[in-house]
Amino acid sequence: MLLFVVLCALLTGAQAGLLDIFDSKVCYGVLGCFRNDAPFTNSWRELPNSPEKIGVSLTLYTRANPLEGDALDWRNTENIISRTHFDPNAEVKVIIHGYMNDGMDYWVVNMTRALLQAGHYNVIKVAWGPGAHAVYPKAVANTRVVGAVTAHFLTSLRNAHNVSMSRVHLMGHSLGAHIAGYVGSDARGIARISGMDPAGPLFESTDPAVRIDSTDADLVDCIHSDGVPLEDMGFGTLSAWCDVDFYPNGGGHQAGCPKPVSGAILDVFSMNMLGAETAVSCSHSRSHDLYVDSIITCTYPSSRCDSYAKFKAGKCACNSPSSCASMGYRTSKSTAPGKYYLVTTGTEPFC
């Protein structure tokens, strides 16, 4: 934790003026106001930037336009059916990237392609690249505005075109998992949220309102793939925040991923965050790779168990509906709540 404290102090001081810390709120029109008092003190009291500065964009892909997406105006959904390929009778799948990513990341493209292969869906990509590349505390703050934009858009769809939230499934990686949680908290009635390695730093031991939690949708399922301590360069968490929490390979270091090396730490202290993230993100990124594979290729049978130690000792067999589940896309509302463990391979496909 000391490394993170030093890093945040350096980066926050380098990019944000001290006066910004003492601002109590910012307001952005229909999105409302965002305060930095409790419970939202986790971003070191950083306030979120505007949607324009964050660069929030929503893009629609369907089987009719799988390659060239339709730009969506989150402020106005009145003409979405006549001007885009949106089908109000199809389910809505929303993909949200995380820290240091953008909407063109390989996994976002692969997930979009796999979803369109799996079904006739409206696949909406939520991109916020500029806001996600800010220093970490600011990026954490920015997630709140991205969530508000997405919730406003979905609520407008419901009001203007009778699109039921019971047909909406949000999928978020890292900080994107918490964004999905904010969306579910604002646009009530969301059917499902899938969190792919929800970010741990600045979210551990926080109020459920600040992070993804089991009340954000009818079903909240999470994959934990990088839950090692931050001082060991872990970006995720082992905390069971969801209805169903999956821990491939114990939820920490993933098979086939290199151990974080001292060079990554040097990148951190030299403020080369992209270099550091690339060096240590293999396990963190594995969660979205596992999820993509689960859409078409892998079922990932997992055993309900109290701990990884008991699972490895063979004390938790996957032999009944209440003790077994499929990790990823095939997780269903019928899955018994709890922690689930499994072992994956170290090369793709990981099943």
Q: Where are the beta strands (DSSP E) in 84-191?
A: 91-96, 121-127, 168-173
What is the mean predicted confidence (pLDDT) over 188-213? 97
Whether 339 has a pLDDT exceeding 90, the answer reads yes
Whether 6 has a pLDDT exceeding 80, the answer reads no
Domain span at residue 79 reads: 2-298
Question: What does the pLDDT look like over 138-168, one tens digit per residue?
Answer: 999 999 999 999 999 999 999 999 999 999 9
| Model confidence, pTM | 0.91
CATH number of the domain that 55 lies in? 3.40.50.1820
Dihedral (Cα; 195, 196, 202, 205), 10-degree rounding = 60
- The pLDDT of residue 79: 87
Whether 329 has a pLDDT exceeding 80, the answer reads yes
Mean pLDDT for all residues in the chain: 90
Q: In which band, very low, low, confident or very high, does the pLDDT at 19 lie, cut at 50, 70 and 90?
A: very low
Percent of the chain with pLDDT over 90: 81
Look at residue 340 and tell me if it is in a domain: no
Question: What does the pLDDT look like over 23-47, one tens digit per residue?
Answer: 699 999 999 999 999 999 999 999 9
Look at residue 309 and tell me if it is in a domain: no
More confident residue, 8 or 125: 125
**What is the DSSP-derived secondary structure letter of residue 301?**
E
Residue linked to tokens 């890093």: 7
Q: Catalytic: which of 43, 57, 156, 174?
A: 174
Question: What does the pLDDT look like over 248-303, one tens digit per residue?
Answer: 999 999 999 987 654 454 444 344 445 555 556 899 999 999 999 999 999 999 99
Asked if 323 is an active-site residue, the reply is no
Look at residue 314 and tell me if it is in a domain: no
Look at residue 341 and tell me if it is in a domain: no
What is the mean predicted confidence (pLDDT) over 313-329? 92
Look at residue 156 and tell me if it is in a domain: yes
CA 162 to chain centroid: 26
Residue linked to tokens 């858009």: 153
What is d(CA 351, CA 341) in angstroms, rounded to the nearest whole number?
14
- The pLDDT of residue 55: 98
Cβ–Cβ under 8 Å, residues 182 and 219:
no
Look at residue 31 and tell me if it is in a domain: yes
Cβ–Cβ under 8 Å, residues 206 and 39:
yes
Contacts of 283 (CB under 8 A, 6+ apart): 225, 226, 228, 234, 236, 252, 253, 254, 257
Asked if 284 is an active-site residue, the reply is yes
Question: How would you write 219-251 as a 3-class SS string?
Answer: EEEEECCCCCCHHHCCCCCCCCCCCEEEEEHHH
Q: Catalytic: which of 133, 152, 284, 288?
A: 284
What is the length of the chain?
A: 351
Asked if 288 is an active-site residue, the reply is no
Q: Which residue from 124, 108, 8, 138 is spatially nearest to 57, judged by alpha carbons? A: 124
Whether 12 has a pLDDT exceeding 50, the answer reads no
Cβ–Cβ under 8 Å, residues 111 and 289:
no
Whether 310 has a pLDDT exceeding 70, the answer reads yes
Whether 212 has a pLDDT exceeding 60, the answer reads yes
Look at residue 304 and tell me if it is in a domain: no
Give whole-number Cα distances, 232 to 2, 192, 223, 268, in Å. Answer: 11, 32, 19, 12
- The pLDDT of residue 146: 99
- The pLDDT of residue 237: 97
Question: What does the pLDDT look like over 67-107, one tens digit per residue?
Answer: 999 999 999 988 898 899 999 999 999 999 999 999 999 99
Q: Catalytic: which of 197, 216, 221, 293?
A: 197
Tally of domains within the chain: 1
